[in-house]
């Protein structure tokens, strides 16, 4: 008898705990596969300390292969699930496709940034859900303070050293608290010429800071924020965002180059493609974390609407504390479904919350006991050390060094603004040149924006100078960090050197060079026209737009074999989660059919690892095998 196959999608708090518990319970009697875009588990509660320079990024990144024995790690993003065929289709980090068969499937894909329909936010704001976003924010804040310190104009200095955080929940409060300490330390060592100091603003439509937590914690957090000079404005949010500031709902305008979006999260859009009962974007499950009518399918974490047995009629909130506990119960129930042990219903007991406000300040209520000051700080850091599944000594060492040494306020420039767009189905993965970037959802969104917003013209973003250093030439137009594009909301030409915009100048692995035969027509295509905007399947179809283009034209496949690339898979009659082909109705991008684009010229540099090479030419005039 073959061993049962268990596939876990996602390695967040719920997925990681499920895999670790299953590894212990199955005792090598099952094949456990973990599908995740990265090879680490991210301890999200300490992410604000990475942005503030307290912790190094690898401190909050726990190796999956090093801490999950007997679990097979597959790098990739799930973009289709065939419930009847019991297979998961995924796209790897270099565009390769694969399929995983399962006997038991655990969906723990987590959540992504929640984007509200506010003009300009998608183009000018950045979220805070992954390491790339934290590293970008750290570099960006450091750069703005340095540029403000060198500026002679008071207006420019004020705009650069004003930082707006939207969302006064758990994450936004910690980002503002740590950020204010970080920038104040920079200015103490390098005062500004104009005599100004950094200004942090925390906005939320709620009546108080951290409205979902105990009121005493809210008062403590707000008091600490105001003591540090943070401008806390409750009942206020952003009405419009532009390249040089924001317009607030109270009618005032704030000049700024930094907008951090911490409004909240929404479940990963992968589960929407399954066609199963949902509750506000979350998959409905029973108290045993099992999907009704699907005994082989389990869900936990942020993608699952788990009934709260302590409060009938309600569902457990989307918090790390619940996700971590979901994982343990889910693992026990998966094993029970295989005939070992008894099923467990998820029932929780509130252990309280901790909020690290930087330095010795914190707010905590362990077991319902409200605390503040150094005592709360000790409890908070002790809790995080106990909860982390690894790197405890390294984290404690970084805390000790931060207490006795000044922070290193340097910008490494490893993550650009265009690499961490707010609207992304994979905030844990930074976009890079030469990679199949756009997922189906992102391509549709970009295509719709590209065909709809062609009127206004915006100015230069704060990251424009840095963006000029991108590989391939000028900064991306229409992206945060460069000049706006005509096919972006309120923009001009399509972004140069950006996926879906004008091809990069001689960039290896990119599209055709500008001097190519059809460069003008290629550059005029909108982002939505290049992407497969009409795709109506799973929004996580990472890399599909590029492969659809390959299938539509004569471009040779990888390795120069001359075979066309694979086209999108059609949805079977009973495949609830598999991505369908483009429907015959009108496209959501309102653009012309997908164009394969021109062939690369003879002098094109070598392609990237996941881009089909162009024709091979010899310099001596003789033809070579396979020469077109």
End-to-end Cα spacing for the chain: 52
Tokens describing residue 217: 């914690």
Averaged pLDDT, 570-590: 38
pLDDT-derived band of residue 557, with 50, 70 and 90 as boundaries?
very low
- Check pLDDT > 90 for residue 336: yes
Name the one residue in this structure whose structure tokens are 């920038």. Answer: 183
User: What are the E-state strand segments in 189-285?
Assistant: 199-204, 231-234, 238-242, 245-248, 253-255, 258-261, 265-267, 278-279, 282-284
pLDDT-derived band of residue 562, with 50, 70 and 90 as boundaries?
very low
More confident residue, 563 or 160: 160
- Angstrom distances, CA of residue 606 to CA of 45, 225, 246, 420, 615: 42, 52, 43, 26, 11
Q: Determine the pLDDT at residue 480.
A: 40
Averaged pLDDT, 589-603: 43
Q: What distance in Å separates the CA atoms of residue 286 and residue 194, rounded to the nearest whole number? A: 61
More confident residue, 278 or 196: 278
More confident residue, 257 or 368: 257
Q: Determine the pLDDT at residue 581.
A: 39
Query: 465-500: per-residue pLDDT in tens?
Result: 443 444 333 344 444 444 444 444 444 344 444 444
Q: What distance in Å separates the CA atoms of residue 331 and residue 20, rounded to the nearest whole number? A: 9
Q: Determine the pLDDT at residue 306.
A: 96
- Check pLDDT > 80 for residue 324: yes
Q: Determine the pLDDT at residue 437.
A: 47
Q: How many residues does the chain have?
A: 628
Q: What distance in Å separates the CA atoms of residue 18 and residue 25, rounded to the nearest whole number? A: 10
* H and E: helices and strands count for the chain: 16, 25
At residue 13, the 3 state secondary structure works out as helix
Q: Determine the pLDDT at residue 1.
A: 54
pLDDT-derived band of residue 538, with 50, 70 and 90 as boundaries?
very low
Q: Determine the pLDDT at residue 352.
A: 83
Q: What distance in Å separates the CA atoms of residue 424 and residue 184, rounded to the nearest whole number? A: 32
Q: Determine the pLDDT at residue 559.
A: 38
Averaged pLDDT, 426-435: 74
- Angstrom distances, CA of residue 387 to CA of 22, 66, 380, 470, 487: 19, 17, 11, 39, 46
More confident residue, 128 or 190: 128
Whole-prediction pTM value?
0.70
- Check pLDDT > 80 for residue 386: yes
Provide the phi-psi class of 352: left if phi over 0, else alpha when psi is between -120 and 50, else beta.
left
User: HEC string of 148-176?
Assistant: HHHCCCHHHHHHHCEEEEECCCHHHHHHH
Query: 249-266: per-residue pLDDT in tens?
Result: 999 999 999 999 999 889
Q: Determine the pLDDT at residue 257.
A: 95
Query: Residues 6 or more apart from 363 whose CB is under 8 A from it?
Result: 217, 220, 221, 224, 354, 355, 357, 371, 372, 376
Query: Residues 6 or more apart from 90 whose CB is under 8 A from it?
Result: 35, 74, 76, 77, 78, 79, 97, 98, 99, 100
- Check pLDDT > 90 for residue 565: no
Q: What distance in Å separates the CA atoms of residue 608 and residue 435, rounded to the nearest whole number? A: 8
pLDDT-derived band of residue 627, with 50, 70 and 90 as boundaries?
very low
Q: What distance in Å separates the CA atoms of residue 34 and residue 72, rounded to the nearest whole number? A: 6
Q: Where are the alpha helices (DSSP H) in 453-564?
A: 464-467, 519-524, 527-530, 544-552
Q: Which of 586, 191, 178, 628 is nearest to 402 (CA)?
A: 178
pLDDT-derived band of residue 368, with 50, 70 and 90 as boundaries?
confident
Q: Which of 199-208, 423-432, 580-589 has the lowest mean pLDDT?
A: 580-589
pLDDT-derived band of residue 574, with 50, 70 and 90 as boundaries?
very low
Averaged pLDDT, 343-363: 90
Q: Which of 252-261, 291-300, 577-586 has the lowest mean pLDDT?
A: 577-586
Q: Are 540 and 270 in contact (CB under 8 A)?
A: yes
Query: 431-476: per-residue pLDDT in tens?
Result: 876 554 444 344 333 333 333 333 333 333 334 444 344 433 334 4
Q: Determine the pLDDT at residue 497.
A: 41
Tokens describing residue 605: 């540099």
Q: What distance in Å separates the CA atoms of residue 1 and residue 616, rounded to the nearest whole number? A: 51
Q: Determine the pLDDT at residue 214.
A: 85
Q: Are 361 and 373 in contact (CB under 8 A)?
A: yes
Q: Which of 151-155, 198-202, 296-300, 386-390 has the lowest mean pLDDT?
A: 151-155
Query: What is the rounded average pLDDT for all residues in the chain?
Result: 76
pLDDT-derived band of residue 518, with 50, 70 and 90 as boundaries?
very low
Q: Are 478 and 526 in contact (CB under 8 A)?
A: no
Q: Are 149 and 193 in contact (CB under 8 A)?
A: yes
Q: What distance in Å separates the CA atoms of residue 213 and residue 273, rounded to the nearest whole number? A: 33
Q: What distance in Å separates the CA atoms of residue 90 and residue 230, rounded to the nearest whole number? A: 44
pLDDT-derived band of residue 191, with 50, 70 and 90 as boundaries?
confident
């Amino acid at each position: 008898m073959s061993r049962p196959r268990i596939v876990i999608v996602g390695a967040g708090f719920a997925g990681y705990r499920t895999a670790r518990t299953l590894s212990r319970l199955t005792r090598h009697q099952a094949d456990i596969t973990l599908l995740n875009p990265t090879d680490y588990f991210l301890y999200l509660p300490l992410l604000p300390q990475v942005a503030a320079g307290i912790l190094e990024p690898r401190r909050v990144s726990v190796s999956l292969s090093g801490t999950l024995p007997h679990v097979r790690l597959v790098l990739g993003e799930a973009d289709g699930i065939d419930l009847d065929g019991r297979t998961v289709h995924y796209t790897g980090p270099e565009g390769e496709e694969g399929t995983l068969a399962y006997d038991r499937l655990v969906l723990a894909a987590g959540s992504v940034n929640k984007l509200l329909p506010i003009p300009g936010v998608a183009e000018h704001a950045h979220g805070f859900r992954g390491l790339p976003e934290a590293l970008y924010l750290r570099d960006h804040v450091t750069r703005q303070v340095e540029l403000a310190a060198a500026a002679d104009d008071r207006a420019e200095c004020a705009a650069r050293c004003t930082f707006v955080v939207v969302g006064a929940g758990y994450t936004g409060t910690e980002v503002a608290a740590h950020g204010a300490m970080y920038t104040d330390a920079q200015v103490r060592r390098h005062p500004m010429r104009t005599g100004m100091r950094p200004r942090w603003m925390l906005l939320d439509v709620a009546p108080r800071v951290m409205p979902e937590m105990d009121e005493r914690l809210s008062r403590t957090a707000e008091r600490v924020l105001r003591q540090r000079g943070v401008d806390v404005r409750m009942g206020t949010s952003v009405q419009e965002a532009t390249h040089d500031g924001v317009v607030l709902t109270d009618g005032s305008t704030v000049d700024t180059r930094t907008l951090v979006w911490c409004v909240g999260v929404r479940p990963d859009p992968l589960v929407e493609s399954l066609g199963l009962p949902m509750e506000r974007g979350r998959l409905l499950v029973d108290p045993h974390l099992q999907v009704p009518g699907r005994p082989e399918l389990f869900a936990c974490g942020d993608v699952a609407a788990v009934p709260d047995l302590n409060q009938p009629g309600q569902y457990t909130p989307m918090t790390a504390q619940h996700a971590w506990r979901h994982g343990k119960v889910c693992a026990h129930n998966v094993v029970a479904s295989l005939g070992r042990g008894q099923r467990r219903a998820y029932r929780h007991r509130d252990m309280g919350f901790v909020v690290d406000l930087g330095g010795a300040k914190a707010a905590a209520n362990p077991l319902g006991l409200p605390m503040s000051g150094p005592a709360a700080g000790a409890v908070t850091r002790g809790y995080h050390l106990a909860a982390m599944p690894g790197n405890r000594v390294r984290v404690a060492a970084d805390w000790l060094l931060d207490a006795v040494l000044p922070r290193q306020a340097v910008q490494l420039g490893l993550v650009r603004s265009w690499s961490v767009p707010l609207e992304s189905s994979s905030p844990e993965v930074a976009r890079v040149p030469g990679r199949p970037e756009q997922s189906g959802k992102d391509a549709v969104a970009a295509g719709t924006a590209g065909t709809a917003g062609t009127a206004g013209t915006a100015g230069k973003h704060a990251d424009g100078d840095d963006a000029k250093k991108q590989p391939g030439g000028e900064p991306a137009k229409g992206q945060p960090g460069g000049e706006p594009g005509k096919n972006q909301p309120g923009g001009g030409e399509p972004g140069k050197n950006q996926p879906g915009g004008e091809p990069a100048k001689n960039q290896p692995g990119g599209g055709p060079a500008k001097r190519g035969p059809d460069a003008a027509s290629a550059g005029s295509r909108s982002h939505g026209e290049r992407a497969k905007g009409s795709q109506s399947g799973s929004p996580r179809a990472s890399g599909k737009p590029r492969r659809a283009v390959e299938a539509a034209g004569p471009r040779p496949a990888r390795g120069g074999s001359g075979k066309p690339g694979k086209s999108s898979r059609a949805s079977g009659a009973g495949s609830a989660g598999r991505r369908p082909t483009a429907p015959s109705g009108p496209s959501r991008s309102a653009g012309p059919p997908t164009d394969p684009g021109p062939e690369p010229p003879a002098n094109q540099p070598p392609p990237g690892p996941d881009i089909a090479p162009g024709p091979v030419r010899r310099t001596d005039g003789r033809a070579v095998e396979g020469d077109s």
